[in-house]
Amino acid sequence: MSGYPHGVAQATRTDPMRMLEEIKRQALEALGGLPGTLYVPIEDALKLASLKTDGKNNFYEEQAALWMLRQQQASHVMRYRQQVAQGFDDFRALRIRSGGEVQLRLVDEQQLEYELASGRLNEALVARFARPLDTLQSRLQTLSEAMRVPVGVNPIGPDRLVTAFAQTFLEAQVPDTLRARLFRHYETELVRVLGELYARVNTLLATSGYGSAAPAPASPRAEAPRRDGYAPPPGFGGAGDGFGGLGVAAPFTHASGAGNFGRTLSTPMSNQDIAAMAGELAELRSQLHAWRESLPKDEAGPALGTATARNAGPRREMRVDEILSVASLLQAEPPDAFARALAVSGRLGETIRDHLQDGARRLGLNPEQACFSSEEEDAIDLVALLFDSLFQHNALQDRARRLYARLVLPYVKVALTDNGVFVKREHPARRLLDAITEACEGNDAETAQDRELLDRATEISQRIVAEYNEDLAVFELAHAELDALLAQQRRRIELQEQRAAKATYGRERLGAAREQAESALSERLAEPELTQAVADFLAMPWRHHVVQTLLRDGADPRRHAEAIALGDALLMADRMAGQNRGRELADQLLALQPAIVECLASSGLDDSAAQHGMAGLVRALATPDTPRSRRPSPPLTMPEDDVSESERKLWLAGGTDTMTHDQILAERMRTLEVGDWVRLTDVQGESVAAKIAWVSPLTSRFLLVNRRGIRMLVISPEELASLASAGRLTIGAERTAFDEAMRQVRRHLDRAPVAR
């Protein structure tokens, strides 16, 4: 049975052994010297790290180990080349692939560390080069069938190349920190080399008869011939038509490199989901078009080269690959203009257009003869509105503005090639922007953890600028890295919310206990005329004792009843003293002595001071003609909860006395649950998202915290209803920053006046 599908004759193919040798030659030529290229950049990195730490960290061990590795550079390069070549021997079954039963043995710690580092690097490379690897694996399978050998491991796949690298340095004495640097720089070199190598090998196999040479299908518009003969510069290949030609399924694919539309997501979507999201995108674009038409002509900026359009002839619409080429040219330039535009709402879209126009001139495109298409306008406007919304509705510090400014052009490129970013919540670019906003929002870099988050987010934004070229795997890897660090912050936020809830609950319990104690005291001072000593005892130690009993033993009604009974017993003792019932009074005081001493001790008095206080009370009651009178209840001496008062000054102008509320709306507020998000506007007009972190079991009030878990406000359903009636509360804010930003974008577009 022939191993060639669809009746392709063997004579039409290059000899498979010669083909494998040619691939091996090209692989060794591209990869063979990689270990020797790592030492200089690592040495430079160590010098730079030493300078940054002002000598506080000792890099001597790493530098010494690196020096030893450099002495063995030739042998390491030779061993690496042997390892790569061995992969080709294994592929054509020159070595036994299965040795039968494998003996179990202990793995030493160094080998285990290499295996862990290799696993992480392999996963990153597989994700980055998924599409060319899939194509290459299919063509290598055809090559194996032609050689009539079982399908082997891809000899230039990430797994094989990472294993070759680990085996090269396995016997060397390398510190953990230097090992991490080696793997990191090796990854950088592989990323630089593999894309071109895989493309060459795939083309070689296809043209030699081992797989289809047909390119990935493109939309009709992307493949249409150009009348002006324009060809993008090298490295700026087209990536599909984005908004105009991707169709219904387009928003749900990853763009995976220049000239390719990308691979579908690993989780298939139902037809209903696809239709719903396509409908959502169509509605969003309809809103956008209506909004753009409502703008004054001098603000809409609809075309490239508008200033000279009146005297120019008909202009053609620029292709997406041309815009991508321009954006890629500008992507690495300083983002100062975008940072300034983010400081002024509504200026970002204009700035993006100006920059793209300037970049078009640099690439030799005449702005007087070209304009943006409607789809490109949509992409630019949506990205501008998205970033504006993020800055208007999140507590982002000034430092974050430059970070976001770097991301503007990469996200314009994403929007041009994959409009699903605006409607699909699992889109990798969308998830990364959520993670970056989570790291930056409200982050004033006060703690070491906050500074680390900001530094990592800044580093990742720089990496996106440096590496993104229509391959969404860059966003996936960056999100995974930042999300791992954010997991620690989320735990801190959760603990912060719990502490805020416990502190609020403690204050509420204290307030409730003080109110009960105050009520009990007022009730007992209202009726009889009392001696000064008994009245003072009830007003101070006894009232405090009742409060402490309620707080410490709130679940034990017996203890509270005993504390109340002590106050009633002292009233009876005072009455006995006034009636000169000496014997009964003595018996009463003897019976009350343990309770009185315990009451005094709860106020912080030691046993000696408590006994002294007991003696003073006895002396006062021992004299029948001691003056007695009615005494008002003194004010509470414990400090009030001034936190709530300062909160209300920020959010509830005029206090609660002047607030009115709708009863039906208040009932609606009572249905809010822990975890729900709302959006609040303070008295200065600043809007911020708030989460319901806790509902008081005592007062039914809500504890609202910001996205960093910091307490913002403790508020009743009635006060929430009043804020909602005043237009300063919105229920149902989204959980993620991107979702909330798109929600605000839609609200902004909905408010656009109808064009006449």
What per-residue confidence (pLDDT) applies to 218? 34
- Which of 181, 207, 233 is the C-terminal boundary of a domain? 207
Same domain for 339 and 475?
yes
Q: Which residue has the tokens 């804010």?
A: 733
What per-residue confidence (pLDDT) applies to 647? 66
Same domain for 57 and 147?
yes
458's enclosing H/E stretch is: helix 448-467
C-alpha distances in angstroms, 625 versus 575, 590, 619, 622, 722?
Answer: 12, 21, 12, 9, 58
Q: What angle do CA 572, 576, 582 make, to 5 degrees?
A: 135
What distance in Å separates the CA atoms of residue 42 and residue 185, rounded to the nearest whole number?
A: 8
Residue 693: φ, ψ to 5°: -95, -20
Same domain for 459 and 484?
yes
How many residues are there in the chain? 756
- Which of 207, 234, 257 is the C-terminal boundary of a domain? 207
Q: Could you give the percent of the chain with pLDDT greater than 70?
A: 78
Q: CA 222, 224, 225, 226 torsion: positive or negative?
A: negative
What distance in Å separates the CA atoms of residue 324 and residue 260, rounded to the nearest whole number?
A: 13
Residue 400 has pLDDT above 80, yes or no: yes
Q: Which residue has the tokens 């909330």?
A: 740
The more confidently predicted of residues 48 and 743 is: 743
Classify residue 87: in a domain, yes or no.
yes
Q: Per-residue DSSP letters for 615-639?
A: HHHHHHHH-TT--EE--PPPPP-SP
Q: In 10 A of CB 306, how many CB atoms?
A: 16
What per-residue confidence (pLDDT) applies to 2? 37
Same domain for 28 and 76?
yes
What distance in Å separates the CA atoms of residue 83 and residue 749, rounded to the nearest whole number?
A: 59
Q: What is the number of domains present in the chain?
A: 4
Classify residue 608: in a domain, yes or no.
yes
Closest CA to 449 of 407, 55, 53, 457: 457
Work out the average pLDDT over 112-129.
79
Query: Mutual orientation of helices 176-207 and 158-169 as an angle, nearest 10°?
Result: 140
Same domain for 80 and 195?
yes
Least confident of 228-232, 717-721, 742-746: 228-232
Which two three-digit tokens encode residue 495? Answer: 């603990």
pLDDT band at 384 (very low <50, low <70, confident <90, very high): very high
Least confident of 49-53, 141-145, 174-178, 225-229: 225-229
Residue 697 has pLDDT above 50, yes or no: yes
Torsion of Cα atoms, 453 then 454 then 455 then 456, to 10°: 50
Which two three-digit tokens encode residue 198? Answer: 């895989």
Classify residue 256: in a domain, yes or no.
no
Q: How far is CA 479 from the centre of its chain?
A: 8
pLDDT band at 351 (very low <50, low <70, confident <90, very high): very high
Residue 280 has pLDDT above 70, yes or no: yes
Collect contacts of 720-725 with beta carbons under 8 A, ≥24 apart. Answer: 720/666, 720/669, 720/672, 720/678, 721/661, 721/662, 721/663, 721/665, 721/666, 721/668, 721/669, 722/652, 722/659, 722/660, 722/661, 723/651, 723/652, 723/680, 724/665, 724/669, 725/660, 725/661, 725/662, 725/665
Give the pairing of strands 677-681 and 729-731.
Answer: antiparallel
Classify residue 685: in a domain, yes or no.
yes
What per-residue confidence (pLDDT) applies to 50? 67
**Core vs surface per residue 257-282: b (16+ CB within 10 A) or e:** bbbbbbbeeeeebeeeeeeebbebbe
Classify residue 287: in a domain, yes or no.
yes
Classify residue 282: in a domain, yes or no.
yes
3-state secondary structure of 55: coil
Digit-coded pLDDT (tens) for 511-569: 888 888 888 888 888 767 888 888 888 888 888 888 888 888 766 788 888 888 988 88
325's enclosing H/E stretch is: helix 320-331
Same domain for 342 and 431?
yes
Work out the average pLDDT over 249-266.
34
Collect contacts of 590-593 with beta carbons under 8 A, ≥24 apart. Answer: 592/566
Task: State the amino acid at position 359 in one-letter form.
Answer: G
DSSP 8-state assignment for residue 226: P
Between the ranges 72-76, 88-92, 120-124, 414-418, where is the mean pLDDT highest? 414-418
Residue 39: φ, ψ to 5°: -70, -40
Least confident of 64-68, 312-316, 439-443: 312-316
What pTM does this model have? 0.55
- Which of 451, 480, 496 is the C-terminal boundary of a domain? 496
CB 337 within 8 A of CB 400: no
Same domain for 484 and 348?
yes
Same domain for 671 and 573?
no
The more confidently predicted of residues 26 and 254 is: 26
Classify residue 635: in a domain, yes or no.
no
- Beta carbons within 8 Å of 82's beta carbon, 6+ residues apart: none
Classify residue 515: in a domain, yes or no.
no
Burial class of residue 752, CB neighbours in 10 A (0-12, 13-18, 19+): middle
What distance in Å separates the CA atoms of residue 368 and residue 360, rounded to the nearest whole number?
A: 11
CB 714 within 8 A of CB 647: yes
What per-residue confidence (pLDDT) applies to 4? 38
pLDDT band at 627 (very low <50, low <70, confident <90, very high): confident
Work out the average pLDDT over 318-347.
88
What per-residue confidence (pLDDT) applies to 37? 85
Torsion of Cα atoms, 269 then 271 then 274 then 277, to 10°: -120
Domain residues for the domain of 706 are 642-735
3-state secondary structure of 13: coil
Same domain for 291 and 421?
yes
Q: What angle do CA 119, 121, 124 make, to 5 degrees?
A: 110
pLDDT band at 207 (very low <50, low <70, confident <90, very high): confident
Domain at 667, CATH number: 2.30.30.140
Same domain for 624 and 646?
no
Which two three-digit tokens encode residue 49? Answer: 């790290």
What distance in Å separates the CA atoms of residue 345 and residue 497, rounded to the nearest whole number?
A: 33
Same domain for 607 and 708?
no
Residue 346 has pLDDT above 70, yes or no: yes
Burial class of residue 548, CB neighbours in 10 A (0-12, 13-18, 19+): middle
Q: CA 193, 194, 195, 200 torsion: positive or negative?
A: positive
Q: What angle do CA 219, 223, 224 make, to 5 degrees?
A: 115
3-state secondary structure of 283: helix
What per-residue confidence (pLDDT) applies to 726? 82
Q: What is the mean pLDDT of the chain?
A: 77
Give the pairing of strands 711-715 and 729-731.
Answer: unpaired
pLDDT band at 475 (very low <50, low <70, confident <90, very high): very high
Which two three-digit tokens encode residue 316? Answer: 């053609």
C-alpha distances in angstroms, 275 versus 240, 241, 247, 254?
Answer: 21, 20, 11, 18
Residue 405 has pLDDT above 90, yes or no: yes
Same domain for 438 and 583?
no
C-alpha distances in angstroms, 172 versus 43, 65, 76, 178?
Answer: 17, 9, 10, 11
